[in-house]
Each structure stands twice: as structure tokens, then as C-alpha cells.
Structure 1
């Protein structure tokens, strides 16, 4: 494989498996003629699905790597590391470790993906815990939110590292240099929150490389008042999935017209065009693809229930990270940015 962009794709993760992944790969190759893909999974199944796409001209840029071993959602991280290194997920990560590709995309088991990434790729020097983060749409552009579930219990020092990594990621996704950073909390007042969050605020304020904007609440994530929002994995995961649920509910309502009275039917017809446009702008599938920051390589986690459209968007995210060498940028930032992170 000698093209400018090379990605590894785990075809066997997620609820829909290769039936969403394969069409996304074909679409990706059609859009980016310089790209090449390595697709990992059962050879016969993937070959048959590719033949159904009727795109033989793409075969020279898409290599199927046969893997019979698959990581299920029930597989715990320890089992994945000890027994599943030859799975489609493990082989895709190994291709990244060997320099054969520049990024990996998987919609598989999040815990297994993190554990295998740490085992096969290793963590960036100085990083205590890798974090999962993604760029979300806001009123003024985008906001990078992390951690989204990789770490439940986080110290103030962990949150400081998340901030440093999140800044580099948002610089890639938003193409901005000066970024405002905030901590997610239950209120904006300085006395609110846990002891670790309040202590993290002190570390943020003392770090000259962080333009700290204070505490924000959940609704502030989408206003665009800050560029990076930092929190532990429990808060971040709940905030993101709650927002996705509301967006999907509003999207469903956009296609529901009240039929009880002509009056409601009239105004429903007036609103539906605007609501449909709004839905396409904030639909979660358009922003699929979260990055594991802190491992030595670009690893992109797609939503487990991703459709073909959503998985394609995750591949776009992987391309952005590979083109910008996000993992390398995070590594340099962690080694150069104002000395080592303080320890407890």
C-alpha cells in the first residue's frame, strides 16, 4: 500500500457489523481517490458484501485481511488483551503499530478497544490515562468534549492532562489556535462540585498553556461559549448521550404533524421544513467518531449503533486525525507543554 492516506477498518464491531461498514468503505474510497483501506474481518463474508456493491475498480485500493476471531460486546477488556489479539480489532491495531496505516476505525467494544490500544500501541510518555473525546456542533462552530467514558474516576491531574490533549484535538478539528477551556460542573460558582473538580480548576488556572474559562454546565456545551469542555467519563458520557437522545426525539417530532384540528395541521406544515433542516445540521450521525487521545496512534471509535452514514463520518474523522498527525501532536504537546504534570 503506497498511497498518501491509509486506514485500517475493523469491520466486525457495532450492532450492524459489516453491513454498515462495507458500504461506508466504498463511499469513502469513491470520495478520496488517494486513499487505501485495510478491511479486517471474515474474508468470505467481506468479499461477498463487496461484490454486492459492484465496485471492482476499487479492489486495488481495498485489501481484505481475513480474521475469524471477533470481539463481542460481552467481551471484557482483560479477555480482549489475553485472548483476542488476533481478532479483527486486534489485527487492525497491529497494522497501525507496524506503520502500515495511519489510523484505525472501529465501532466495537469500547473497553476492549481501549485495552488493546494500550497493549498494542502503548501510551504516550507522561500520559496517565488515555481519554475519549469528540468534536460536537455548537451555535458558534464546535466544542471538543472529553472524557466520554474511558475513565470514570478521575483525579485533578487526570483532568489537567485531558485538557492538554483536548486542546490539540480541537485545534485539528476547528482549525483554531487560541482556545477557551472549561470544566463541566453542576454550577458555575467556584464553591460547587467535588473536591477533585475544584482542585482541577486550580491546576487549570495555574497552567499558562490553558486559557481557562471556569466552570460550565451541561447546556453550555452547545452554546459555543468555550472550545474545550473537560470532565470525567461518567459526566461526559451522560451529557453526550442525553443530547443525542433529545436530538433524535426532536427529529422524530419534526416528521409528526398533529391531525386533531386543521389549525394544528396548518402550523405543523409550516414548521416541518425548518425542523427538517435543523435536524440534518445536528443529527448525531454527522458527528460520529471519537478519538482515543493519549495512545501512540490515531484510534477512532465509532458509535456502536452506527449506520453506514454514521460510520462513513467516523472515517472522515479518522482522515482528519491522520492528515494532521493528531497522535503525534498530542505526544509533542505532552512532552513540551510547561513541564510534567504534577502528581498527587
Structure 2
């Protein structure tokens, strides 16, 4: 755990860019007085936004001049060829050099994956890094990965995702005995694509993994398993579908149609409980996914993140740094080879 937290923040990623990032940084510094932030982007765009905050906050917010920006439409190849001096790349270099304990960005996922692999490198034995995060479940949380970094995954990739997901969930919850499942179109052993079935065989034979079999999308949130593994397409669809349902509930007004004082009393009580539940599972509260498998703590925020959501991603980066997650993953992969 770092004695003084230092985060590198890419100010130019996502749909809102500095408009969401700078207020989130100010809020983060206010809540965590020992922390220091390095903010990467064009000073001409950042300084006017910083002027709204007290000097004692901005003294712990160091601007790093970067005019080059990786856009949301930039391909991984373009990011490697033309984005090597971008705010995203420089924030990654700060992690690689040890100047920062973690970095966070709302930028392009494909570009972030390409630049992370190029600048930081991957852990021994990891062919493909994965995006993962803890999502709320009935009994606490479940770690879901991959959330969109890899579409075509081999059985061996999925096995490595499971190993990394276990260590990430241990860091998040402190629990050691975790149940691991593969996301599939059914719980029956014979269902699903060949690589998923083969991954099931690998996990079943792995003595370091408590494998619980196949699960379906709704099982992610029941609390029956602690880590759910899938390829990036399935994971991205699953998490965004869940977020969409929660937002739909959030946009639907709660109304009372019951008549009579008793029915209206219990109806209002139910509405208050639903509103509380809706607040607790609001997707912005769980923003921020970790790039597992690169040599450093890298956190990806949602591209459309509001200031509140980006702040939550910074909290995720803080937790990764304090848990020494990247180093723990190195140890986990060494144990897997032994």
C-alpha cells in the first residue's frame, strides 16, 4: 500500500472530457487529503476549469502538458502510431515509471488496451489482458470479466481470466474461498460454444480454482458465485443490459394508484424502498473497471461518465493501488505455474 497515494488522470478521454474529470478530481482531493493527482491534457483547457476550486486543492493537482489526444474513434493501430505522446499514453508512462500508483481514463477501450500492452507490458503467461469489476449481488458482490477488451478468447484465456478475477475479488472482499463460474447460454454441461466447454474442463481440472460450472446472465447477481468469467462480447452485453434495466427503472416515475389510507401508506412505503434500492444500484456508483494482466494498475471509466461516475472510477483506482493489485496478480500467475 503506497504511503501517499498518487494517481495519474487522463483528462481528455470520454464524451465529456475535462468537464467531468476536473470536478471529480477536486472532489477526490477534498475527500482524501494525502492524495496527489497528476492531470494530463492541454493546460489551456484545464486551467479555466481548475480556477473554480480553492488553491489548497489545486496545489495537489499537478498539470502535465499534453496536447495530443486519443479520440473515441481512434483505432488501436492509430493509437500506437499517432498517440504515443497523448494524455492517455503519458498517464500510462507515469504508472510504468513509478511516478503514479495507478491511472484512470474514460478513453477509448481498444486504444487503452493497445497502449497499455505497449507501454507497460503484460504479465508472464497472460496473452490477453481483461477488463473486470465487482458488481453488486444479493450477498455482496460478484467480479465479472471480461467486460469488452477481448472478443475472441481461447479456453486458456478464460482460465487466466478466472485466475486474475479470483485475485481481484480477494483484494476487493478479503474472502479467500471464492466460487468461480463460466457465463454460458445454459447451465447444462453440453451447452455453449466449444471453447467455453473446453474452458469448463480446464477450470474443473485446476486445483487452485473452486469451479461451480456454467451460469446464465441472471446468476451474476444472485450471490451464488463470486467470480463470473466470459469473453468480452458476452460480458459487455451482460453488464450494459443490466445497467439499462436499472436506468429504465430510474426513469420510470413511481406513482400511487391505491385508494384508502392503509393501501396508500403501504404503497408509499414500497415506493420509498424502491427509491432507496435504485440509488444503491445506480450504475454510476460502480463505475471503473480494472485492466487485469498489464504491469500496473490501470482503470477504465465509462466513456459517457458524468463527474460522479468518474469520481467513482478514481475510487476504484485508489482501491487497486492500496491493494497492490498489479503485484498481487503477478504472484497469482506465478502460483498458477507452480
- Normalising by structure 2, we get a TM-score of 0.95
> Matches of 2:113 and 2:98 in 1, distance apart?
19
Match of 1:4 in 2: 4
The equivalences for 1:298-317 within 5 A come to 298-317=297-316
> Matches of 2:189 and 2:309 in 1, distance apart?
39
> Matches of 1:304 and 1:3 in 2, distance apart?
31
Match of 2:47 in 1: 47
The equivalences for 1:241-260 within 5 A come to 241-253=240-252, 255-257=253-255
Q: CA deviation at 1:268?
A: 6.0
Q: CA deviation at 1:263?
A: 4.2
Q: CA deviation at 1:45?
A: 1.5
Contact 1:251 / 1:275 at 8 angstroms: preserved in 2?
no
> Matches of 1:230 and 1:324 in 2, distance apart?
22
Match of 1:218 in 2: 217
The equivalences for 1:1-344 within 5 A come to 4-52=4-52, 54-253=53-252, 255-257=253-255, 263=259, 266=264, 269-339=268-338
Contact 2:258 / 2:267 at 8 angstroms: preserved in 1?
no
Residue ranges of structure 2 left out of the alignment (5+ in a row):
none
**Deviation string, structure 1 residues 76-122 (Cα, Å, up to 9, x no partner):** 01010111111111110111111100100000101001110001001
**Deviation string, structure 1 residues 221-248 (Cα, Å, up to 9, x no partner):** 0001000000011100000000000001
Q: CA deviation at 1:60?
A: 2.4
> Matches of 1:223 and 1:285 in 2, distance apart?
21
- Normalising by structure 1, we get a TM-score of 0.94
Cα RMSD between the aligned structures? 1.6
Contact 1:3 / 1:36 at 8 angstroms: preserved in 2?
no
> Matches of 1:87 and 1:217 in 2, distance apart?
40
> Matches of 2:3 and 2:326 in 1, distance apart?
20
Secondary structure of 1:29 counterpart: helix
Secondary structure of 2:161 counterpart: helix
Secondary structure of 2:15 counterpart: coil
Residue ranges of structure 1 left out of the alignment (5+ in a row):
340-344
Q: CA deviation at 1:262?
A: 6.5
Residue correspondences, number: 334
> Matches of 2:316 and 2:17 in 1, distance apart?
19
> Matches of 1:134 and 1:146 in 2, distance apart?
7
Q: CA deviation at 1:274?
A: 1.4
**Deviation string, structure 1 residues 153-197 (Cα, Å, up to 9, x no partner):** 111111000000000110111121110000001111111111111
